[in-house]
Amino acid sequence: MTPANTLVPRRLLLPFGKACARVPPSRRVRTSSRCLDVMPAWVIDKYGSNDVLRFTRNASFPSITYPNEVVVKVFAAGLNPLDVSMRGGYGAATLSMKRDPLSITVSGGEFPLILGRDVSGVIMECGLEVKYFQERDEVWAAIPPWKQGSLAEFVVLSANEISWKPKSLSHTEAAAIPYVATTAWSALVNTGGLRKENCGNKRILILGGSGGVGTFAIQLLKAWGAHVTVTCSQNAEQFVRGLGADHAVDYTDGPVEVSLSALEKFDLILDNVGGDTERWALGLLKPWSGSKYVTLVTPFMQNTDRLGVADGMMQTAATVASKALKHLLKGVHYRWGFFAPSGPALDEVRDLVEKGQIRAVVEETFSFSQVPQAFEKLEKGHARGKTVVQVSTGGS
C-alpha cells in the first residue's frame, strides 16, 4: 500500500542531490554537440502592463546545465492568470531568490524574462542522465515560475517536470492542461488528501468552477466518483454541468453563502476565489470529520514582495498557523494550496485523458504573433477554459 498522497512514478526520478548539483564545466552533460545561440521569443525587460511585452528573434537559446534536463521545441504554450501577474512583478522577490539564492547577480538579473507556464512540444536534446525520455518524444509540462517560460521556440526543463503528451490530444489541446492539472492535483491530492479510492462518498465544493483550475478539478473529481458542487455565474452553469458538475450555484443571484448554507455540508472545499470567502466558507464543512478547506489564493507572494523574503516568510507562517489553529478548534482543517510542477502527476492525468475522463478546455487560440492580444483577453477575466498560443507549426 502507498500513502494517500504518494504517486507511484512510471520512471525513476533523480535524487534531489543529483538534480541540484551543478556539473563541473569539464564534464559533458549533453547528448549532442549541436549549438544554437538565439531563438524567437516574447520577452519583458521590466515589469508593467501589456506594453512591456516585446518580440525578439535574438533571445538567448536555452542550454542544458544539469544532466537530467531536456531541451523542448515548443509547439503550443498555455497562458494563465499567473502570467499576467508575473508580467506586473508579482512574486519578483521570491522568484529572484529561487533563481539566484546567493544573490550573485545584480537586481533585475531575471530580464529579459520569458513568460508562459504551460508547454506542449517535442524533445530536441537530452542530458546524459535522462533515462526515460529520448529525442523526438512528444511531451507536455508545467513550467516552474522561476524558470524561463514557453513563449519561445525552445525551453529547458527537468526530466522530473515533463511527461509524455496524451496521444489523443493535439499540441494546442495539450498545452491547456499541465499548469491547471498540477495546481489542482497539488491542492486536492497533496494537500487535500483525496485520491481515487476515497472520493466515492465525498461531497466537494469548488468556489470558482468555470476557470482553468476549476474546470480541471471538476473532471478529475468526477472521474474519481465524488459529488461536485461549484459556484459560477448563471451563463456558465451549462458549461460546468457539461464537464460533470452535479450542482451549480449562481453567485450573481444574491449572497452565494446563503444558497450554499442551505445544502448538505461538504467534506472538502477548493477555493479559487479568495477575498471574503474565508469568512463564511469554513462553516459549510462537516465539523469533526476531517473535512478540509484548501485555498489557492494566499498572501505568500504579496508578503515577500512587500516585506522582503525573510520577513515575508515569517509573516506568512504566522498567518497560516493562526488561521489553522483557529479553525481546528471548530473541527475543520484550514490549508493553503500551491502550484507544484510534477511529471508523475501528469502521468496520472495522461491516463485519465486517454480514457476520455478528462478533456482539454480551450476557450481561445492565438498565433505566436498575437501574444499581446492573448494577454489582453486573459486580463478580462471570466474565462471559460484556457487561452493557448500556437508557437510553432507541425507536430501532431
d(Cα 23, Cα 63) in Å, to the nearest integer?
13
* 69 burial via Cβ count (<10 Å: 0-12, 13-18, 19+): buried
> Is residue 32 one of the residues assigned to a domain?
no
The CATH number assigned to the domain holding 262 equals 3.40.50.720
Task: Please check whether residue 352 lies inside any domain of the structure.
Answer: no
Mean residue pLDDT across the chain: 88
* pLDDT tens, N- to C-terminus, the chain (396 residues): 444 444 444 443 433 333 434 444 434 565 555 567 999 999 999 999 999 999 999 999 999 999 999 999 999 999 999 999 999 999 888 888 787 766 666 667 799 999 999 999 999 999 999 999 999 999 999 999 999 999 999 999 999 999 999 999 999 999 999 999 999 999 999 999 999 999 998 999 999 999 899 999 999 999 999 999 999 999 999 999 999 999 999 999 889 999 999 999 999 999 999 989 999 999 999 999 999 999 999 877 777 878 777 888 788 788 878 787 877 888 899 998 999 999 999 999 999 999 999 999 999 999 999 999 999 999 988 778 899 999 997 654
Most distant CA pair in the chain: distance in Å? 67
Task: Output phi, psi for 169, to 5 deg.
Answer: -110, 145
Judgement on whether residues 62 and 168 belong to the same structural domain of the protein: yes
Question: Which pLDDT tens digit goes with each residue over 73-97?
Answer: 999 999 999 999 999 999 888 888 7
208 and 112 fall within a common domain: no
Position 81 in a domain: yes
Give the range of the structural domain holding residue 242, as residue numbers without chain letter.
Answer: 180-336
Helical H runs in the chain?
16-20, 81-87, 92-99, 171-174, 178-185, 212-223, 237-242, 256-261, 277-281, 300-307, 309-328, 343-354, 371-379
Please indicate, yes or no, if residue 8 is contained in any of the structural domains: no
Q: How many domains does the chain have?
A: 2
Strands 333-336, 292-295: pairing kind: parallel
In a domain, 25, yes or no: no
The CATH number for 98's domain is 3.90.180.10
pLDDT, tens digit, for every residue of 241-278?
999 999 999 999 889 999 999 999 999 999 999 989 99
pTM over 0.75: yes
Q: Are 215 and 385 in contact (CB under 8 A)?
A: yes
pLDDT at 310 (0 to 100): 81
A 10 A CB-CB count for 124 gives 16
146 and 91: one domain?
Answer: yes
Domain co-membership, 109 together with 216: no
Statement to judge: residues 81 and 99 lie in one domain: yes
Percent of the chain with pLDDT over 90: 71
In a domain, 348, yes or no: no
CB atoms under 10 Å from CB of 259, counted, come to 14
Of 152, 146, 145, 156, the C-alpha closest to 55 is: 152
Alpha carbon separation from 243 to 71, 218, 252 (Å, rounded) = 34, 7, 21
Residues 332 and 186 in one domain: yes
Percentage of the chain lying above the pLDDT 70 cut: 88
Question: Is 43 within the bounds of a domain?
Answer: yes
Based on the fold, state whether residues 156 and 282 are members of the same structural domain: no
**28 lies in a domain?**
no
**213 and 94 in a common domain:** no
Question: Do 367 and 255 have their domain in common?
Answer: no
**DSSP 8-state symbol, 387:** E
